[in-house]
Homo-oligomer: A and B are copies of this chain.
Amino acid sequence: MADKHEKGSKDGITVKKEENFSEWYTQVISKSEFVDYTAVSGALAFRPDGYFSWETIQRAMDALFKAEGIVNVYFPLFIPERLLNKEKEHVEGFNPEVAWVTHAGNSKLDERLAVRPTSETIMYESYAKWIRSWRDLPLRYNQWNNVVRWEFKHPTPLLRSREFLWNEGHCAFATKEEAEAEREVVLGIYNKILKEYMALPGIVGRKTESEKFAGAEATYSIEHMLPSGISVQGPDFHSDGQNFAKAFDIKFLDEEGKTEYVFQNTFGFTTRELGVMIAMHGDDKGLVMPPKLARIQVVIIPIYNNDTKDSVIKSVRELSKKISGIARTFVDDNDAYSPGWKFHEWELKGVPIRVEIGERDIKADKAVVCRRDNGKKQDVKIKDLPKMIESLLADIHQNLYDKALKALKASIHEVGTYAELKKIINGTGGFAEAPWCGSPKCEEKIKNDIQAKITNMPSGTQGKAKGKKCIVCGEDAKHTVNIAKSY
């Protein structure tokens, strides 16, 4: 056992999630062997369990995109400086965090190359060449790639990484109506993946002018609330109108023979969501994986002594075969560790179901089944096991989602006065739902005063603002907004 313990990474989590969320999070992401730190500050190695989660999300989302007619392309990693500079707001938004390639081998390049922080500028130059007539529209392209945003804030693994993986969708349409209609489609896909794969709820809404994407006309986001009381922005969708079309001269000949600019959208879903998933579902023992994203869904741990070893291992192998068609199954028959040590290890890694079998269980034709999400144990007849596993995996997923949704709802506090707002933000944290007049001044005051921001204006809450007064200036409120501290 000595060699494993030397390794250190299998040590348990030494702090409680409720007492020190930030340290808990830092420990759990790496001790679970989901991701690891590297020599590059702010960039992670995705280990097999971590990458499995991402590629599962990617495949599921990719199939949904394709069913909608959105197809994949791939554009270069580097963007020449002159291209990045073409859309004024865009470049101002991204310039402070661009990683610049200045040399190749021993030669200085004639022009600096940006490592893509996002690909609008390199893609749209091609769009301008490719789109000529209304027949070329809609053009609905997506890329799966890596991007770099060299933020100088302290990086938080996954949640605020300097390199991350994502999808970036970039679609062009002949009309504003079609461009707008795509929002529901894309946010629907994002919500479906969040809910059905990651067991994560979120709050859909529109960003304020000051928080929208650099270069967009409007940004819509899905916002999460972490157990720390601090929010994190999830996937987003940007309506670009004709901003980029004008900067990059993306025009088409319409059916009447008139030349028009296209209307564009962009949208992205990133590996940040894996951080949200870990933060929401994990507990003091480690990760708790939503079953669909767990590389191993069921771990079988044989319990034996020297006399019973052969017969137990044999039974376990047979059982494993039966379950393998239903769930990704692993038999941990490593002799060097005790069952207790193994329980601890697989709990740390968040495997949804543990099956324990010893000689006495075999004789009684049963096994002990333990859920990772709530720790509940039960005896199950061997013949019922495959069916039980299937329904347990679904139950676990539902339970994780229900818990996360309950926590999200509980995190929203309606506030009517500035004093209440301050109390929430500086106290428990979470979202303060407040009426706002729409003025950037009031928004700015919240930022400066209590270091919180308007995360978004939740969809379906517009009516709520009627007759209310802005929480900052007391003028008539136009919007209902969520305010929170944010990663």
What B residues does A99 contact at CB under 8 A?
78, 101, 103-104, 113
Contact B77 A115 (CB under 8 A): yes
A100 at the interface (CB under 8 A from B): yes
CB proximity to B under 8 Å, residues A40-78:
40, 43-48, 50-52, 54-55, 71-78
Q: Which of A145-153, A193-201, A311-319 makes up part of the contact surface? A: A145-153
> Which A residues from 100 to 134 make CB contacts under 8 A with B?
100-107, 112-113, 115, 122-123, 125-126, 129-130, 132-133
A7 on interface, CB distance cutoff 8 Å:
yes
Out of B75, B78, B101, B145, name the residue touching A45 (CB < 8 Å). Answer: B75
By the criterion CB–CB under 8 Å, are B80 and A39 in contact? yes
- Which residues of B lie under 8 Å from residue A36 when comparing CB positions? 126, 129-130
Closest to A71 in B: B48
Contact A77:B39 (CB < 8 A) given known A72-B51, A101-B115, A135-B336: no
A44 CA / B77 CA spacing, docked (Å): 10
A96 CB–B CB distance under 8 Å: yes
A126 CA to B113 CA, complexed, in Å: 29
Please give the distance in Å from A224's CB to the nearest CB on chain B.
Answer: 23
Name the distance in Å between A449's Cβ and chain B's nearest Cβ: 27
- Given A48-B141, A132-B3, A135-B334, do A96 and B105 touch, yes or no (CB 8 Å)? yes
Q: Are A165 and B74 in contact, with the CB atoms below 8 A?
A: yes
In chain B, what residue has the closest Cβ to A36? B126
Q: Decide if A163 is an interface residue (CB 8 Å cutoff).
A: yes
Expressed in whole angstroms, the Cα–Cα distance for A9 and B128 within the complex equals: 13
Q: Are B125 and A39 in contact (CB under 8 A)?
A: yes
A150 neighbours in B (Cβ, 8 Å): 104-105
| Complex Cα spacing A255 to B123, Å | 54
**Which B residue sits closest to A105, measured CB to CB?**
B96
A residues 162-193 near B (Cβ < 8 Å) are: 163, 165
In the complex, the chain B residue whose C-beta lies closest to that of A46 is B74
CB-defined A-B contacts under 8 Å, sample of 6:
A3-B133, A36-B130, A38-B76, A95-B105, A97-B104, A100-B102
Query: A44-B76, A48-B141 are contacts. A104–B113 as well, Cβ < 8 Å?
Result: no
Q: Which 10 A-B pairs have the closest CB atoms?
A: A104-B150, A43-B76, A3-B133, A46-B74, A100-B103, A96-B105, A7-B132, A48-B71, A40-B76, A102-B102
Are A3 and B253 within 8 A (Cβ)? yes
In this complex, the interface size class of chain A, counting residues with CB under 8 Å from chain B, is 35 or more
Complex Cα gap A97–B101 (Å): 13
Check if A6 is an interface residue, CB within 8 A of chain B: yes
Does A83 belong to the interface (CB within 8 Å)? Answer: yes
Contacts of A52 in B (CB 8 A): 71-72
Q: A43-B78, A78-B163 are in contact. List 19 more A-B contacts (CB 8 A).
A: A38-B76, A38-B122, A38-B125, A40-B78, A40-B113, A45-B74, A45-B75, A46-B75, A47-B73, A47-B130, A51-B71, A51-B73, A77-B146, A78-B99, A100-B104, A101-B101, A103-B112, A105-B150, A146-B146
**Which B residue's beta carbon lies closest to that of A62?**
B55
List, in ascending order, chain B residues with CB within 8 A of A40's CB. 76, 78-80, 113, 122
Q: Does A441 contact B (CB under 8 A)?
A: no
Report if A323 contacts B (CB, 8 A): no
Min C-beta distance of A468 to chain B, whole Å? 41
Bound CA–CA A146/B143 (angstroms) = 13
**What is the bound-complex CA distance between A78 and B50, given in angstroms?**
19
Q: Which among B7, B51, B152, B334 is the interface contact of A105 at CB below 8 angstroms?
A: B152
Q: Which residues of B contact A83 (CB under 8 A)?
A: 39
A98 at the interface (CB under 8 A from B): yes
A43 partner residues in chain B, CB cutoff 8 A: 76-78
A383 close to chain B: CB less than 8 A:
no
Counting chain B CB atoms within 10 Å of each CB, which of A55, A107, A115 scores highest?
A: A115
B residues within 8 A CB of A125?
A: 38-39
Q: Provide the bound-state CA to CA distance between A51 and B104, in Å.
A: 27
Complex alpha-carbon distance, A7 and B146, angstroms:
32
Beyond A122-B38, A133-B4, whether A98 also contacts B102 by CB under 8 A is: no
Most chain B beta-carbon neighbours within 10 Å: one of A36, A54, A113 = A113
* CA of A380 to CA of B160, assembled, Å: 60
Q: Which residues of B contact A163 (CB under 8 A)?
A: 76-78
| B residues near A126, Cβ cutoff 8 Å | 36, 38, 45
